[in-house]
Amino acid sequence: MRKQFNVLSEDREYLDSLNLPWEAIVSQGRNWILIHDFPLPDGYRNQQTTVAIEIATGYPRAQLDMIYFYPDVGRNDAAKIGALSHRNIDGKSFQRWSRHRTATNPWRDGVDNLSTHMALVEYWLEREFKIRPRAVPV
């Protein structure tokens, strides 16, 4: 697995605790963490995916934002997931979920890190079915 840039020790510990293959790559001049074989909750057509997180310049003071998946993540009921687009990362078209922190859940310098961002990602994945539990397929 590629380790093209240094990862903070607390992030490395978190990534290693997942027991999933992960990489720290540079793609198009940006630093990315790729977590392979990431399990998805029930309700998605894929059982697992690769997750990409852009490590922003200035991180950990600067916040992590959004999440990217390859291959695309879709619902079993074929209902459309909102606020999606695509971005080329490492030669692949990753699906970008435009999800962000809110004023009631801001980035906390010195507290938040990759593990707390991934907890938010898991919340976003589960929230998709809480917002529209019985969505009508498109």
Instruction: Report helix, strand or coil for 47.
Output: coil
pLDDT band, very low/low/confident/very high, at 66 (cuts 50, 70, 90): very high
Taking the CA atoms of residue 80, residue 99, residue 6 and residue 17 in that order, the dihedral angle to the nearest 10 degrees is -70
Rounded to an integer, what is the distance from CA 57 to the centroid of its chain? 17
Rounded to an integer, what is the distance from CA 124 to the centroid of its chain? 10
Neighbours of 86 (CB within 10 A): 13
Domain boundaries, given as residue ranges, for the chain? 9-131
The pLDDT assigned to 104 comes to 92
Residue 94 CB contacts under 8 Å (≥ 6 apart), including other chains: 50, 52, 68, 69, 70, 86, 87, 88
The pLDDT assigned to 133 comes to 81
Residue whose structure tokens are 């950990």: 60
pLDDT for 77-119, tens place per residue?
989 999 999 999 999 999 999 999 999 999 999 999 999 999 9
